Amino acid sequence: MLELRLVQGSLLKKVLESVKDLVTDANFDCSATGFSLQAMDSSHVALVALLLRSEGFEHYRCDRNLSMGMNLNNMSKMLKCAGNDDIITIKADDGSDTVTFMFESPTQDKIADFEMKLMDIDSEHLGIPEAEYHAIVRMPSAEFARICKDLSSIGDTVVISVTKEGVKFSTRGDIGTANIVCRQNTSVDKPEESTIIEMNEPVSLTFALRYMNSFTKATPLANSVTISLSSELPVVVEYKIAEMGYIRFYLAPKIED
């Protein structure tokens, strides 16, 4: 038996909107730790890892570990029927091939339940090691989204370079080139508007902008985004989900042929 009650149902709606274009089908894993997902895009170039910790739910009952295969487009269709202020409860019985999403309006005057068919998904679970990164950049998520969108109108790839001068986002295309440098800025009153660069050593990596733009669909989940770079690892683009956990996108770099 599984019953997860999320008062801030809009979080789940936002999570779905941020992953459904990247991943078609995925297993949601439910354990005592929380509600999680790990899935790669169909090209195996990007990976998404989501964790919503059990403590973040108003009610969290998960009698035994359960993996539920869902088509994310269908799940999104169902969650779009929930109001932004609705409380969402996810329910499933052991051995059932369906999951139920229950939506309650804040005033309890409307209660809806949507039952969705589950599917068997054969997916490998990857081991992601704890790692030291050469550089970690924290910046406003809206700023990062703007940069990715702007650069994708010029080129297909972005070179992200971190030096002690700051973080530089560069692209080139048929019409020309573009460089955007963001310097460390901690003087602003609001911490979420600051840009903080931790650099152990300079790093420069090239990524497909199409994937970066897809990751920025998670912007509504967090004011800040953290970009962790190392020359030996995929970049990690992380959006913290307030009080609950995170959504992390991993993207393998492009390298010189």
Q: Which residues bind other proteins (CB under 8 A)?
A: 40, 43-47, 124-129, 157, 206, 208, 232-234, 250, 252-257
Please count the residues of the chain.
257
Contacts of 80-85 with C-beta under 8 Å, sequence gap 24+, read 80/13, 81/112, 81/114, 82/9, 82/13, 82/112, 83/9, 84/9, 84/10, 84/13, 85/9, 85/10
Q: How far is the CB of 157 from other proteins (least distance, A)?
A: 7
CB-nearer residue toward other proteins: 10 or 230 = 230
Q: How far is the CB of 65 from other proteins (least distance, A)?
A: 14
Which residue bears the tokens 């969290």?
60
Of 250, 252, 134, nearest in space to 203 by CA: 134
Q: How far is the CB of 87 from other proteins (least distance, A)?
A: 34
d(CA 38, CA 40): 7
CB-nearer residue toward other proteins: 182 or 252 = 252
CB-nearer residue toward other proteins: 120 or 124 = 124
Instruction: State residue 222 phi and psi, 5-degree precision.
Output: -155, 145
Q: What angle do CA 147, 151, 155 make, to 5 degrees?
A: 160
Q: How far is the CB of 69 from other proteins (least distance, A)?
A: 18
Q: How far is the CB of 233 from other proteins (least distance, A)?
A: 6
CB-nearer residue toward other proteins: 140 or 234 = 234
d(CA 95, CA 90): 15
CB-nearer residue toward other proteins: 8 or 214 = 214
Q: How far is the CB of 21 from other proteins (least distance, A)?
A: 17
Instruction: State residue 149 phi and psi, 5-degree precision.
Output: -65, -45
CB-nearer residue toward other proteins: 41 or 104 = 41
